[in-house]
Amino acid sequence: MTSGRDGRTGYLYIAPWLIGFLLLTAGPMCVSLYLSTTSWTMLTPPVQVGFRNYAAILTDDPIFTVSLLNTLVYVVLSVPLGLAVALGLALLLDQKAKGVAIFRTAFFLPSITNMVAVAMLWLWIFNPEYGLLNALLQHVGIAGPLWLQSEVWAKPSLVLMSLWGVGGTMMIFLAALQGIPQELYEAAELDGAGPLSRFIHVTVPMISPAVLFNLVVGIIGTFQVFTQAFVMTGTAQPGTEGGPNNATLFVVLYLYKKAFQEFRMGYASALAWVLFFLILAATVAQMRMAKRWVHYEGGER
Amino acid sequence: MRRMDTSWRATLTMTLRTSLLYGILSVLGAAFTLPLVWMLSVSLQDASGVFAQPFQWIPPSPRWENYIDAVTLFPFSRYLFNTSVITVSVVVLTVLSSSLVAYGFSRLRFRGRDALFAVCLSTMMLPGQVTMIPLYAAYARLGWIDTWYPLIVPAVFGSPFYIFLFRQFFMTIPREYDEAARLDGAGRFRIYWSIILPLARPAVATVALFCFIGAWNDFFNPLIYINSPEKATLTLGLHMLKNQIVGSGSVQWHVLMAAALVVMIPNVIVFIAAQKHFVKGLQMGGLRG
């Protein structure tokens, strides 16, 4: 379909992106691939080590294994929970009732506030002695855990905090819900479908593309979790992030430490590629499975 | 008689349903707002009030001075200035370049256009960690470490997500406008600058907003590229302040909360001022992604 009518002028217009793509994405990707096969501290020239970095990461780096498991646990907990909460909130907001907009604001606002400031707030909310959470739990007679200071509770703490930020996901669900033609519900009602049946047979298929979108974006984003763990864990000393006992050491945090605290740039590059393939595999798997459950309206969009 | 009875019942059911809805929304609304209210409360306590058992939600004598302490404890005005300069530059550059590229992708015809657009979209999936180290090394070689260049210059090249949003919007602008302008003798760039861009004001607003929030909140890039405290952004400065306070042993949580709250305020203002553009943008990005 695309003839070359505008020829060079066309390339001129997309030049900013094209140059940026070559300089900031394609070029660095090639360099990164090369660096991942080297040992490099940035002070002396890189030394070729072949696939040794990858071999070490995959077979001989127990800390990486810990960070990978932490990341997987975090993804598996926070993505489905986040989707469920976001969808629940969107369903409530989709009811035609006055004054719903103010609740939409309340649910959405936390998701666009500054992550470091949010981390600061939750750091204090999770404080076992003086924090909000344990104070509330005490009210109902529960002795709360140590949250971020506990090896067991550190990851669930971060998952809980991530639920506070589901506003963006919720908005996308809400848009999808509001895009469902009312006639579909009316037709289902005429066929004698009750509320639950209408939800399963009308709402779910109609919003399934939005579910897929949120799922894929959620997985990609959650695999790269960094700021919370970096800001909220460990003591103030550099190198202690990811505690207690590496319970919140996620892959990107581990990568950051290798690159910018230990200056093992070759090893960190290899880590980045391992992470990339993990994310790619998870995304492709979701897309494949999606064919079975995502419903696309013929010809729409 | 019977009919009246059912309609009465229907009204009751409706009222119950609505009450239940408001009940659930209120509980959830409170749960989402409570952390912020608590934050405000902590920020107004004195040093002992923070650790008081039980906690006084409304401090007996609110200490608004905590906010003055917070903005003097770290060079707040300096960070505010730095963050503003960086953010404004990034927003202006991103809007201009992304819209120009999107214009090329949506209005011009050239060989390989659709393939290139697919490449552009696919780069959105690439995790930044893959290019991070070579870019860091390249910026180091250019002598750009501990400068704002690595934070601002990439915006010159636009951003795939915003290019996508602009293109989506441009597609909805009828081509008759272009044709009419062309008949009046307008060239490609004139059409972009004085027809398409003004018509796309809602898209410009949405992209500018998203971009503002992204740049204002950015933590990772300032963290790796900025070393000198006087060049830091608010986000990085807040992190440094936390380490300084925690490191010193005397954790002044009331001051830290005040500082964190101050850092949050611009986002809240921007959000409230432009809520509808946020909603529109999220819908545009989500539904057609």
Q: Is residue A299 part of a domain?
A: no
CA A192 to chain CA mean position, Å: 40
Query: In this complex, do A220 and B125 lie within 8 Å of one another by their Cβ atoms?
Result: yes
Say whether pLDDT at B92 is over 70. yes
Q: From the candidates A12, A36, A113, A172, which should be mutated to test the interface with B, based on the most B CB atoms within 10 A?
A: A113
Report chain A residues whose CB lies below 8 A from the CB of B35: 110, 121-122, 125, 132, 164
Check CB contact of A3 with chain B, cutoff 8 Å.
Answer: yes
Q: What is the pLDDT of residue A1?
A: 43
User: Among the residues of chain B, which ranges form H helices?
Assistant: 2-43, 65-73, 76-107, 113-122, 129-141, 149-152, 160-171, 175-183, 188-191, 197-199, 201-217, 220-225, 234-247, 253-273, 275-288
Any idea of the CA torsion for A111, B95, A176, A220, to the nearest 10 degrees?
Answer: -60
* Structural domain span for residue A121: 62-293
Q: Is A47 helix (H, G, I), strand (E, B) or coil?
A: strand
Closest alpha carbon to A177 in A165, A169, A189? A169
Structure-block tokens of residue B96:
């201009």
In Å, the largest CA–CA distance within chain A is 76
CA distance linking residue A148 with residue A241, whole number of Å = 12
Residue at A123 is within a domain: yes
Which residues lie closer than 8 Å to B91 by C-beta, 6 or more apart?
Answer: B208, B211, B212, B215
Q: How confident is the model at residue B283 (pLDDT cuts 50, 70, 90)?
A: low
CA-to-CA distance for B252 and B49, rounded, in angstroms? Answer: 11
Instruction: Give the nearest partner residue to A13 out of B101, B154, B260, using CB atoms.
Output: B101
CATH number, domain containing residue A241: 1.10.3720.10
**For residue B9, what pLDDT is reported?**
82
Q: Which residue has the tokens 């659930």?
A: B24
Query: From CA B108, how far away is CA B102, in angstroms rounded?
Result: 10
Chain CA centroid to CA B266, Å:
10
CB contact under 8 A, A8 and B110: yes
- What pLDDT score was predicted for residue B189? 93
Residue A112: closest CA among B287, B263, B225, B124: B263
Query: Is there a domain that residue A50 lies in?
Result: no
Question: Worst-scoring range by mean pLDDT, B31-35, B53-57, B88-92?
Answer: B53-57
Q: How many domains does chain A have?
A: 1
Two structure tokens written together for B1: 């008689």
How many Å lie between the alpha carbon of B65 and the closest alpha carbon of chain A? 19
Per-residue CA distances from A200 to A194, A195, A291 (Å): 10, 9, 18
Cβ–Cβ < 8 Å for B218, B85: no
Q: Do A24 and B131 touch (CB under 8 A)?
A: yes
User: What's the CA gap between B227 and B156, in Å, rounded?
Assistant: 23
Q: Which residues partner with A39 through β-bridges?
A: A47
Mutant choice from A112, A138, A271 vs B, greatest count of B C-beta within 10 A: A112
Q: What is the pTM of this model?
A: 0.91
Confidence of residue B5 (pLDDT cuts 50, 70, 90): low
Helix (H, G, I), strand (E, B) or coil at A48: strand
What does the pLDDT read at residue A101?
87
Q: Judge whether A52 lies within some domain.
A: no
Among the listed residues A216, A112, A172, the one whose alpha carbon sits nearest the alpha carbon of residue B215:
A112
Confidence band for B8, pLDDT divided at 50, 70 and 90: confident
**Is A121 a domain residue?**
yes
Residue A78 inside a domain? The answer is yes
Cβ of residue A10 closer than 8 Å to a chain B Cβ: yes
Candidate from A126-140, A258-272, B77-91, B264-278 with smallest mean pLDDT: B264-278
CA nearest A126 in B: which residue? B35
Residue A298 corresponds to which tokens in the numbers above? Answer: 């013929």
User: Could you give the angle at the alpha carbon of A275 between the alpha carbons of A272 and A277, nearest 5°?
Assistant: 110
CATH superfamily of B67-288: MetI-like (1.10.3720.10)
Beta bridge partners of A38: A48
In a domain, A39, yes or no: no
Contact between chains at A117 and B238 (C-beta distance less than 8 A): yes
Does residue B233 contact residue A116 with C-beta atoms inside 8 Å?
no
Contact call for residues A281 and A72 (beta carbons, < 8 A): no
CA-derived radius of gyration, chain B: 25
Q: Is the separation of the CB atoms in B188 and B201 below 8 Å?
A: no
Phi, psi at B250, each rounded to 5°: -95, 90
CA dihedral B196, B198, B204, B205 (to 10 degrees): -150
Closest Cα in chain A to B97: A16
Whether residue A116 and residue B272 make contact (CB cut-off 8 A), yes or no, is: no
pLDDT, mean over chain B: 89
Compute the half-sphere exposure of residue B96: CA atoms within 13 Å on the CB side of its CA: 12
pLDDT for res B3: 55
Contact A237, B246 (CB under 8 A): no
d(CA A123, CA B279): 30
Specify the amino acid at residue B103: Y
Residues of chain A where predicted confidence (pLDDT) is lower than 70? 1-5, 236, 297-301
Rounded average pLDDT over B100-113: 94
Cα–Cα distances in angstroms (integers) from residue A162 to residues A93, A270, B21, B212, in the given order: 20, 28, 24, 22
Query: Which DSSP state fits B157?
Result: G
